[in-house]
Amino acid sequence: MTYYEQHQPDFLEGLKTFLRIPSISTLSEHKLDIIRAAEFARDELAAAGMTAAELIEGPGNPLVYAEWLGAPGKPTVLFYGHYDVQPPDPLDEWHSPPFEPTVRGSDLFARGAADDKGQVYIQIKAVEGLLKTTGKLPVNVKFLLEGEEETGGEHIEEYVKSRPPRLKADAAVVCDTEMFAPELPTICVGLRGIVYGELSVEGANHDLHSGIYGGAAPNPIQAIAEILCALKDRNGHILIPGFYDRVVPPSAKEREAWGRLPFNEKEYTENEMGARELVGEPEIPLFERTWARPTLEVHGIRGGFTGQGAKTVIPARATAKISTRLVADQRPEEAAEQLRAAIQAACPKGVTAEFKVLHSGAPSLTNPDDPFIHASAEAMRQVFGKETVYIRSGGSIPIVGVFDRYLGIPSVMMGFGLPDDNLHAPNEKFHLPNFYRGIQAMARYLELLGA
C-alpha cells in the first residue's frame, strides 16, 4: 500500500478539522476564525516538511507562505488556494450543519469542502506524501494561500504586484476549479473576470404614502427595475454601449472540442440547476454562453417594505447588488465605466442613481499548449485512467490574471470539484474519491515535472 492509500483516514480527519473553522471572510465577526484557518494551514505545511511556513501579515487577512527549495536546477511551482469560505446561509436548508463536516455516501458535506479547503488540502497532502516517503520533492515548491478570495479582496494582488523575490516561479498551480464530469480529469484554461458593485437609487428624501403621493412621487425600486431592463434585453443581450467590443470569440478548435464533451442538457437543466428551461442569448451555444460571453446579473435588491402583511409605501431609496462577468479581452476598469455610463443614461427622472464598484478582477486565458499544462493533463490521465479534457469556466479567480501580469507565469488550473458540489450554496460537498485521487494526481504532477 502506498503512503497515499495508507493515510486516507488521516487526510479525511485533517480536512474535517480545517472545515470546522468557520473562516467566512465577508463577515467581520469571523476575523478570529480567519486567523485560525491561516494558522492551521501554516502548521500543516510545516508538519508536511516544508522548510519555511509562515503567515504574511498585512492590511488584510493573512497570506500563508511556505517553500521547499531543495531541487536546484528543477522548475519551481507556486501553489495557490484560498482558506476563506462563503457564508453558509440559508442555514435551514443544510442537511447537516455547515461547520460540522459529515460524510454521507462518498461525499463530505461542509462549507468550504470543495471551495476551497478540500483542494488546498490536496496540495498540502501531495507534498507531504512525497516528503515523508522520499525525503524530498521532485521540483521546488512554494505555497501562497489567501483568505480574501471570496470577498474579492485585493491584498494578495497588492502583494504580488510588489513582485517579492520569494514568489519567483515558473508556473502557478491553482487548485480551485471543477472537473467537467465525475471521473473526467479536467484542466480549466479560461476564466471570466468580474466587476461587482452596488447600485444606489434615491427618490424623495423620506418614505411616502403610496395612495397620497402615488402618481406623482418617484419610486426608486421601480427605477432599479427600469435601469436593469435597460442594461440587458429579454434575450440576454447586454445593451451597454461598447460592452462587446473587446470580446474575443472562442476558436473553431475550442468550439469543436466543447461540442464533444459528454453532456446531457436536460439533466443539467432539471437536476443540476433544478430549473425548467435555459435562458440567455439564443443564437449562442450553451458553453459559449457560460464560458466565453459576458453576463450581467442582479444578486439582490433591498428597499421598501418586505415584512409580513401589507404596507402602502413609496420608498425613499433602494439598492441593488449587481455584477457583470467579463471575458477576454475585456478590461474591468473600462467595463465598469461603460456600466456606470449606461446606468446614468437609463436612470429615470425624479431619482438619482449611483454605482459603486466593490471589487473586480480580470478575465484570463491560458495557452493549452504550455508544457506545465501538458504535464498536468498527463498526471491526471495516469491517476484517473481517462484522457484529460480542456474546458473553460464561467467563474472568476482574479489571481490568475495577476500572476500572468506581474509574475509572467501561467496558471495550471487542475481542479477536483464536481458540477453538483453546491459551491456557495447549502449542502456544499466534496466527492471523496476526487479528494484522494486529487492528492495522488498532484503528487504525480510534481514527479512528472521533475523527471
Total of chain residues touching ligand BES, rule CB under 6 A? 17
- Tell me which residue has cell 432539471: 270
CB of 415 to Mn ion, least distance (A): 9
176 binds Mn ion (CB under 5 A): yes
Q: Do 203 and 441 meet the contact criterion of CB atoms below 8 Å apart?
A: no
**Spatial distance between the Cα atoms of 337 and 323, rounded to a whole number of angstroms:** 13
Q: Do 258 and 285 meet the contact criterion of CB atoms below 8 Å apart?
A: yes
CB of 275 to ligand BES, least distance (A): 18
- Residue (397 or 441) nearer to ligand BES, CB: 397
146 binds Mn ion (CB under 5 A): no
Closest CA to 368 of 207, 251, 243, 228: 251
| Strand intervals (E) in 315-434 | 317-326, 352-361, 364-365, 389-393, 411-414, 429-431
440 binds ligand BES (CB under 6 A): no
Residue 63 β-bridge partners: 56
Closest CA to 16 of 382, 338, 435: 435
Using the rule CB under 6 A, which residue among 62, 363, 395, 410 binds ligand BES? 395
Contact pattern from residue 339 through residue 378 relative to ligand BES, giving x for each residue in contact according to CB under 6 A and a dash for the rest:
--------------------x-x-----------------
CB of 177 to Mn ion, least distance (A): 8
Using the rule CB under 6 A, which residue among 67, 107, 148, 178 binds ligand BES? 178
Residue 138: how many CA atoms within 13 Å on its side-chain side? 13
CB of 72 to ligand BES, least distance (A): 34
- Residue (176 or 447) nearer to Mn ion, CB: 176
Contact pattern from residue 150 through residue 169 relative to ligand BES, giving x for each residue in contact according to CB under 6 A and a dash for the rest:
x-x-----------------
**Spatial distance between the Cα atoms of 114 and 19, rounded to a whole number of angstroms:** 10
Residue by residue, DSSP assigns 135-204 as SS-SSEEEEEEES-GGGT--HHHHHHHT--GGG--SEEEE---B-SBTTB-EEEEEE-EEEEEEEEEE-S
115 binds Mn ion (CB under 5 A): yes
Using the rule CB under 6 A, which residue among 149, 170, 428, 447 binds ligand BES? 149
Which residues would be at the binding site for ligand BES (CB under 6 A)? 115-116, 149-150, 152, 176-178, 194, 359, 361, 393, 395-398, 423
- Enumerate binding residues for Mn ion (CB under 5 A): 115-116, 176
